[in-house]
Structure 1
Amino acid sequence: MTDTEGERRPAGELEASVLAALWAAGAPQSAAQVRAAISQDLARTTVATLLGRLHDKGMVGRRPDKRGFVYFAMQDSHGLTARRMHRELDHSGDDRSLVLARFVEGLNAQDEAELRRLLEEDRP
């Protein structure tokens, strides 16, 4: 996956572009529709591969359509960020407490106050 100057783009950047196109569309999209919506000049097969990988990761859903699949985002950008945070925590090893402590240490005062508020909130 290269740009017009031959430099390789990070897969995460391409995945983010594909997800942004799905969020903006607000309706299921084919690979061709996603390709048309993103600003990068990518082959349809590249977009289809990215959509397949995002589907395998559980980040997009898909359903059969006339000539293949249409894809839709499983979560909004905030849900996706939370999912990434959970995945990182799950892969952090045995000492989740240490990872959480280091995370909290890095919060600014406003974020720390918001986290405290959320933790103290009654949950259904």
Structure 2
Amino acid sequence: MALGELERAVMAQLWSAEEPLTVRDVHDRLERELAYTTVMTVLGRLAKKGLVRQERDGKAYRYAAASSREQMAAELMLDALGDVGEDRTAALVAFVDRVGPEEAEALRRALDTPPSGTPRPAG
């Protein structure tokens, strides 16, 4: 699920917030010439996509990201990988060819560590 530029900007504000934000909070933090209703519409769409949690606070709603930035990035990468069809290996190789040395090393470490956090035995 790809996000538009404004959706990404709204998500960035939610991720950087320490507590859920109102539409007004997000609107003010964006520091752009946008209508309040535009921000309200974007937040509503993000909530329908399941990317944002919406909770009632009196007459207003407060919004928070449903997952961390890292979790969402992982989901987007998995979605993209699913879109390639059968040749996932070629897509992964092309991805690894484009990342920098630090990212490549982080991938190596991640592949050498099982989800439980315990290093896999060598060999």
Normalised by the length of structure 1, the TM-score is 0.78
Q: Residue 115 of structure 2 is aligned with which of 111, 114, 123? A: 123
Give the partner amino acid of 2:36. R
Distance in 2 between the 1:110 and 1:24 partners?
24
Residue 51 of structure 1: how far off its partner (Å): 0.5
Q: Which deviates more, 31-40 or 98-107?
A: 98-107
How many positions carry a matched residue from both structures? 114
Give the partner amino acid of 1:88. A
Residue 112 of structure 1: how far off its partner (Å): 2.0
Query: Which consecutive residues of structure 2, in runs of 5 or more, have no partner in the other structure?
Result: 117-123
Taking only aligned residues, the RMSD between alpha carbons, in angstroms, comes to 1.9
Q: Which residue of 2 aligns with 1:94?
A: 86
Residue 48 of structure 1: how far off its partner (Å): 0.9
Q: Which residue of 2 aligns with 1:80?
A: 72
Give the partner amino acid of 1:107. V
Alignment of 1:36-115 (within 5 A): 36-115=28-107
1:23-48 CA distances to partner (integer Å, 9 max, x unpaired)?
A: 23211112122112211121111001
Distance in 2 between the 1:18 and 1:106 partners?
28
Distance in 2 between the 1:107 and 1:43 partners?
38
Residue 80 of structure 1: how far off its partner (Å): 2.4
Q: Secondary structure at the match of 1:87?
A: helix
Normalised by the length of structure 2, the TM-score is 0.78
Query: Which consecutive residues of structure 1, in runs of 5 or more, have no partner in the other structure?
Result: 1-10
